[in-house]
Structure 1
């Protein structure tokens, strides 16, 4: 009987160990998925921050142009030229990021 009790205890321990290993594997998989999601979201955040900076720069330039340009003809011409410069700068930044 002592051997049967020991065998049952060992089987019980083995069953608990299997469950523990299974849970551990599940947690590892969830952790890996969470890390991938974090990396993805960090990339999105960086992209959005860059877009915000670009929009802020463009808005600041437009405000400067409005303040500097006295008449509408010069203002429009200056805005177009600055927008062209902004596009070129954005292209250079995109090229440097690649």
Structure 2
């Protein structure tokens, strides 16, 4: 009789463990889906940030072009000019790559 009770308790505990395992598995699936959604959101936000940074640079360029020599600090002005030259060079390189792809 004692053995039967012991076996019954072990079976009950085993059933509880199986039930908890299934719950943990389903929770794991939900969390994995949530991670995918969060990763997608993060990637989209990074793209948005990059686009906004590019727009900011273009706005700085436009502001510099329309200021018509408004007084600025010389060092900042030179650094900004170098940055603009670098950006223009990057655009030229990208255009050259596109032309090369079109020609091949």
TM-score, normalised by the number of residues in structure 1: 0.64
Deviation at 1:55, TM superposition (A): 1.1
Give 2:91's aligned residue: 89
Name the residue aligned to 1:30: 30
**CA drift at 1:27:** 2.3
- 1:49 aligns with 49
Higher relative contact order (CA 8 A, sep 6+): 2
Which structure 2 residue ranges, 5 or more long, are not aligned?
70-86, 98-104
- Structure 1 residue aligned with 2:62: 62
Structure 1 spans left out of the alignment, 5+ residues: 70-84
Q: Distance in 1 between matches of 2:48 and 2:92?
A: 15
- Measured against aligned partners, the alpha-carbon deviations of 1:50-88 in whole angstroms (never above 9, x if no partner) come to 11011101111111111127xxxxxxxxxxxxxxx97x8
The CA RMSD over aligned residues, in Å, is: 2.8
Paired residues, what number? 78
CA separation of 1:90 and 1:11: change in aligned 2, threshold 3 A: farther
Give 4+ residue runs of structure 1 displaced > 6 Å after superposition: none
